[in-house]
C-alpha cells in the first residue's frame, strides 16, 4: 500500500435489495473509485458509510432500517440511498429521517450524483494532480465573463429550407440536473452572462415528454420554463444574468415573460431567422 493509497478517505458500503439496487450500488462504487476514494465492506475505520436500501416489503424495510441503525452506531456518519429513501413515513415526511434523524443525507434510488454530492460535502474527494488541473466548468473558448450553455441537440422539425436535422439529428434534451450543475459550475467559475443555446430552445423537454428530473435532491421538470426559472435563481445568487437564444415562438414562451419582469432572465429573445427582440 502506497502513502497516497493509505491517505485516501475510505467509504464503507452496504448494498441491500434487488438486482436493480445492485446496479445502482455498482454505479456509486465505480464513481467513488474513479475519484480516488477507497471502499470497504466494513464500518470500522471508514470516514463515512453509504447504505443502499430496499423498501419493497415489510421485511426489507426492517432489514434496511436495522442496517442504517447499525452503521450509525458503529460509525456515526451515514448516507442513505435506494428505495427506502423514497418512502414516506407516518403523517408524511421521510420514513428514514423519522426513524434515524441523525443520517447525513437521504436520496431515492438511481441517484448516483446526489449520493456523490453528499459524499463530497462530508468527505472531500482526494486530490488528483491530473484532474484538478482542469477547471470545474471545463475548458472554455469564450472570455471569462460569459459562456454558452447548450441544453439540447438536434431538431424535430423538417423545414424545407433547413439542413440542420439531417446534420444533427432529432431533438435530444440534456437531463435538467446536468444542465443546472454545469450552469452552477460556470457561475462559480466567474461567468456573469450565461447564454442559453440549442437548435430549438423552446422545444426543450418535448422529446422526453417534460419528464421530472432531479437537481440538488429536488424535482425539476425537463421544460423550458422550469429550467429558465432555476437558471435565473442561480444567476441571481452570483450577481449574473441569463440570456435566451434560439427561441421559437411556441405558445408557452409567453410564460417566460413574468420571469423577465422579476429580473430572473434578461428581457431579450434571440428568435432565429429574425431580428433579436428586446421585451419591453
pLDDT tens by residue, 97-110: 999 999 999 998 88
Could you tell me which of 50, 58, 120 has the C-alpha nearest to residue 95? 58
Q: Which three cell numbers stand for residue 45?
A: 475505520
Predicted local distance difference test score (pLDDT) of residue 99? 95
Predicted local distance difference test score (pLDDT) of residue 44? 83
Predicted local distance difference test score (pLDDT) of residue 162? 83
Pair 39, 27: CB distance under 8 Å: no
**H or E element at residue 34:** helix 19-34
pLDDT in tens, the chain (280 residues): 444 445 789 999 999 988 888 899 999 999 999 888 999 988 888 999 999 999 888 999 999 999 999 999 999 999 999 999 988 888 888 999 999 999 999 998 888 989 999 999 999 888 777 777 777 777 788 899 999 999 999 999 988 888 888 888 999 999 999 999 999 999 999 999 999 999 999 999 999 999 998 888 788 999 999 999 999 999 999 999 999 999 998 999 999 999 999 999 999 988 876 445 556 5
Beta bridge partners of residue 52, listed in sequence order: 15, 81
Predicted local distance difference test score (pLDDT) of residue 1? 41
Q: How far apart are CA 79 and CA 89, in angstroms?
A: 18
57: three-class secondary structure by DSSP: coil
Q: What is the dihedral of CA 111, 117, 119, 125, to 10 degrees?
A: 130
Burial tier of 228 (Cβ tally within 10 Å: 0-12, 13-18, 19+): buried
Predicted local distance difference test score (pLDDT) of residue 4? 47
Phi, psi (rounded to 5 degrees) for 195:
-105, 110
pLDDT tens by residue, 196-228: 999 999 999 999 999 998 888 788 999 999 999
Pair 204, 255: CB distance under 8 Å: no
Close Cβ partners of 201 (under 8 Å, ≥ 6 residues apart): 151, 152, 224, 244, 245, 246, 247, 248
Predicted local distance difference test score (pLDDT) of residue 2? 45
Predicted local distance difference test score (pLDDT) of residue 161? 83
Amino acid at each position: 500500500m502506497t502513502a497516497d493509497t493509505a491517505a485516501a478517505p475510505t467509504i464503507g458500503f452496504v448494498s441491500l435489495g434487488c438486482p436493480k439496487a445492485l446496479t445502482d450500488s455498482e454505479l456509486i462504487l465505480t464513481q467513488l473509485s474513479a475519484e480516488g476514494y477507497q471502499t470497504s465492506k466494513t464500518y470500522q475505520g471508514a470516514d463515512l458509510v453509504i447504505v443502499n436500501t430496499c423498501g419493497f416489503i415489510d421485511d426489507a424495510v426492517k432489514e434496511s432500517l436495522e442496517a442504517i441503525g447499525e452503521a450509525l452506531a458503529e460509525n456515526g456518519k451515514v448516507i442513505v440511498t435506494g428505495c427506502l429513501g423514497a418512502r414516506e413515513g407516518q403523517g408524511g415526511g421521510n420514513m428514514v429521517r423519522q426513524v434515524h434523524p441523525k443520517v447525513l443525507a437521504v436520496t431515492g434510488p438511481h441517484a448516483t450524483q446526489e449520493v456523490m454530492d453528499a459524499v463530497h460535502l462530508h468527505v472531500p474527494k482526494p486530490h488528483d494532480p491530473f484532474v484538478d488541473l482542469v477547471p470545474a466548468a471545463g475548458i472554455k473558448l469564450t472570455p471569462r465573463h460569459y459562456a454558452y450553455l447548450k441544453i439540447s441537440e438536434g431538431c424535430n422539425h423538417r423545414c424545407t429550407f433547413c439542413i440542420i436535422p439531417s446534420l444533427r439529428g432529432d431533438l435530444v434534451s440534456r437531463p435538467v440536473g446536468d444542465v443546472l450543475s454545469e450552469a452552477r459550475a460556470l457561475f462559480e467559475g466567474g461567468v456573469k452572462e450565461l447564454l442559453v443555446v440549442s437548435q430549438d430552445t423552446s422545444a426543450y423537454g418535448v422529446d422526453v415528454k417534460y419528464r421530472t428530473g432531479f437537481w440538488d435532491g429536488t424535482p425539476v421538470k425537463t421544460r423550458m420554463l422550469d429550467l429558465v426559472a432555476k437558471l435565473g435563481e442561480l444567476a441571481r445568487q452570483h450577481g449574473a444574468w441569463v440570456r435566451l437564444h434560439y427561441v421559437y415562438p411556441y405558445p408557452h414562451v409567453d410564460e417566460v415573460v413574468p420571469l423577465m419582469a422579476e429580473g430572473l432572465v434578461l428581457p431579450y429573445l434571440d428568435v432565429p431567422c429574425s431580428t433579436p427582440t428586446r421585451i419591453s
